[in-house]
Amino acid sequence: MSDFKFNEFVDILRRLRKECPWDREQTNDSIKMATIEEAYEALDAINNKDYKELKEELGDLLLHVVFHSVIAEEDGHFNLDEVIDGISKKLIRRHPHVFGGVTVEDTAEVMKNWEAIKLGEGKSSVLSGVPISMPALHRAFRMQEKAAKTGFEWQSLDQVKEKIIEERGELEEAEESGDFAKLEEEFGDYLFALTNYARFKKINPENALNLASKKFEQRFGFIESELAKENRNPSEASLEEMLELWNKSKSGG
């Protein structure tokens, strides 16, 4: 993209901030959830391998980056040039094997150096860069991933499986105790252990759960469509009927 195209785009945003009542009223806080929504829409396009849609969604994400920056500039916090300059310097600083004299053997060493450099930048912890507002399953995955890069990692799949069995036992003990707070805590530990298994097997748990949810949606949709042929909905059918249709959907209808 030429500098002219980018500057023209920024000028459009600046004009909207002056001349459009809605755009003028927005704040970083008011558009923050829309920013997240646009990121998820880009993710959907990537998952669907819909590159026409991805192109549009990346434009929407770029809009939000510039929009947030223009608002911050107006409020005297920082400007877009500083955003670009900051990320450029960060990329150079965190890739000494490209822009400096550091030699690395593989991706694992690159990532280990990356985390060490971040700590040298003033991060209080390897885990401090994992956003609290990130979806819990993905946050657990990222924390485990970051800790593993420091060497804090199970040495075998058997150890990972043993931890799952241990957490499952503690979950059952909590269930028997009738202590809901303890049950919730142990359920979280069990999920965390399952997430660790997924990471160890190079499965993204967020993707895996999304696939399971999509499968559930398709099979339950089959139940609804079959019942609709009789002018009924699921609440008017017995569990046995619905399970029969569920199994039918699994075999391709």
Q: Which domain CATH number covers 197?
A: 1.10.287.1080
pLDDT of residue 195: 97
219 and 189 in a common domain: no
Span 15-20, average pLDDT: 95
Domain span at 220 = 207-250
Question: Which stretch of 2-6, 44-48, 152-156 has the lowest confidence by average pLDDT?
Answer: 2-6
79 and 50 in a common domain: yes
pLDDT of residue 4: 81
245 and 196 in a common domain: no
Q: Tell me: the pLDDT tens digits for 103-134?
A: 888 888 887 787 778 777 777 788 887 888 88
Claim: this prediction has a pTM higher than 0.95: no
Residue 101 in domain: no
**pLDDT at 160 exceeding the cut of 80:** yes
pLDDT of residue 104: 83
Residue 237 backbone class (left: φ over 0; alpha: ψ -120 to 50; beta: rest):
beta
216 and 160 in a common domain: no
The number of distinct structural domains making up the chain is 3
Tokens representing residue 90 in the block: 């960060």
89 and 8 in a common domain: yes
CA distances from 100 to 92, 94, 106, 109, 119 (A): 8, 10, 16, 15, 18
64 and 18 in a common domain: yes
44 and 16 in a common domain: yes
Residue 133 in domain: yes
Q: Tell me: the pLDDT tens digits for 191-237?
A: 999 999 999 999 999 999 989 999 999 999 999 999 999 999 999 99
138 and 79 in a common domain: no
